[in-house]
Amino acid sequence: MSTLQIRDLHACVAEADGTLREILRGVNLTVADGQTHAIMGPNGSGKSTLAYAIAGHPKYIVTSGGVTLDGQDVLAMSVDARARAGLFLAMQYPVEVPGVSVANFLRTAVTAVRGEAPKLREFMKQMRGAMSSLSIDPKFAERSLNEGFSGGEKKRHEILQLELLDPKIAVLDETDSGLDVDALKIVAEGINRFRARSGHGVLLITHYNRILQYVQPDFVHVFVGGRVVEEGGPELARLLESEGYERFTGAGATV
């Protein structure tokens, strides 16, 4: 069974003048095998910072606390070692990689995670099957990664990576942003296929309840001011959709 544990995590970002600004202020969260956790919160609350701190983005400096995956110290690992250990980050804004085809990128990534190159014929068959499931045109395999892709195409290719890399824990940072209804359903189906496999957990970061209508969370966490301020089930997401975050961020808030 796979378990991601985040304990009293504090993290800062370096400002242009060299000073450090604290963003995460004591995050506690456990994502276990078979669980889907949704993190919801207003802009600027630190949700994406949490995702990047877990993944090892150099911009974010962890000052205290810990992150472990199956008992291993994630913060002591390099970025690539975290991926090999079973962590996956789907970014809010996937980057373009001119000159590197989707097929070559994916095969290189799979090789890095598995420690050996998959047989080309088997890999191509698996990739084409996953692309079909996500309604991705097979011609995209030869295009440069994310170059000229629409927002929805980029997000579907993030889920394509998820399906092929098959990590233990997937951290999905606003995977639903910029998606129309059809693309949202396709992406959600891909996430559901992933989490249906044994040994997997999902940490889904989102502003809105709409993706949670298709990807049912086990737990919902309200994130404000760099920490979790309330927790509940799917009903909490519906409450936030109707009432917003004002009771956590307004003048009378106690967070």
pLDDT for 255 equals 47
Residue 8 maps to a domain: yes
For the chain, what is the mean pLDDT?
92
Answer whether residue 171 shows pLDDT above 90: yes
Count the domains in the chain.
1
pLDDT for 251 equals 47
Are 107 and 123 in contact by the 8 Å Cβ rule? The answer is: yes
pLDDT digit string (tens) for 14-67?
A: 888 888 999 999 999 999 999 999 999 998 999 999 999 999 999 999 999 999
Residue 227 maps to a domain: yes
Predicted TM-score (pTM) of this structure: 0.92
pLDDT for 16 equals 84
pLDDT for 207 equals 86
* CATH assignment of the domain containing 74: 3.40.50.300
Mean per-residue pLDDT for 234-250?
A: 87
Q: Kindly report the CA angle at 85 between 90 and 57, in degrees rounded to 5?
A: 50
Token pair of 137, please? 């045109």
Residue 228 maps to a domain: yes
Q: Which of 74, 69, 67, 64 is closest to 22 using CA atoms?
A: 64
Mean per-residue pLDDT for 198-225?
A: 93
pLDDT for 18 equals 83
Answer whether residue 253 shows pLDDT above 60: no
pLDDT for 198 equals 79
Residue 243 maps to a domain: yes
pLDDT for 146 equals 93
Residue 50 maps to a domain: no
pLDDT for 252 equals 47
Q: What percentage of the chain exceeds 90 in pLDDT?
A: 80
Residue 47 maps to a domain: no
Are 171 and 51 in contact by the 8 Å Cβ rule? The answer is: yes
CB contact set of 141 (below 8 Å; sequence gap of 6+): 101, 102, 103, 127, 128, 131
With H, G, I as helix, E, B as strand and everything else as coil, classify residue 179.
coil
pLDDT for 167 equals 95
pLDDT for 232 equals 96
Range of the domain at 170: 3-38+59-249
Q: In which band, very low, low, confident or very high, does the pLDDT at 241 lie, cut at 50, 70 and 90?
A: confident
Residue 44 maps to a domain: no
Q: What percentage of the chain exceeds 70 in pLDDT?
A: 98
Residue 122 maps to a domain: yes
Answer whether residue 202 shows pLDDT above 80: yes
**Separation CA 235–CA 158 (nearest Å):** 28
pLDDT digit string (tens) for 126-149?
A: 999 999 999 999 999 999 999 999
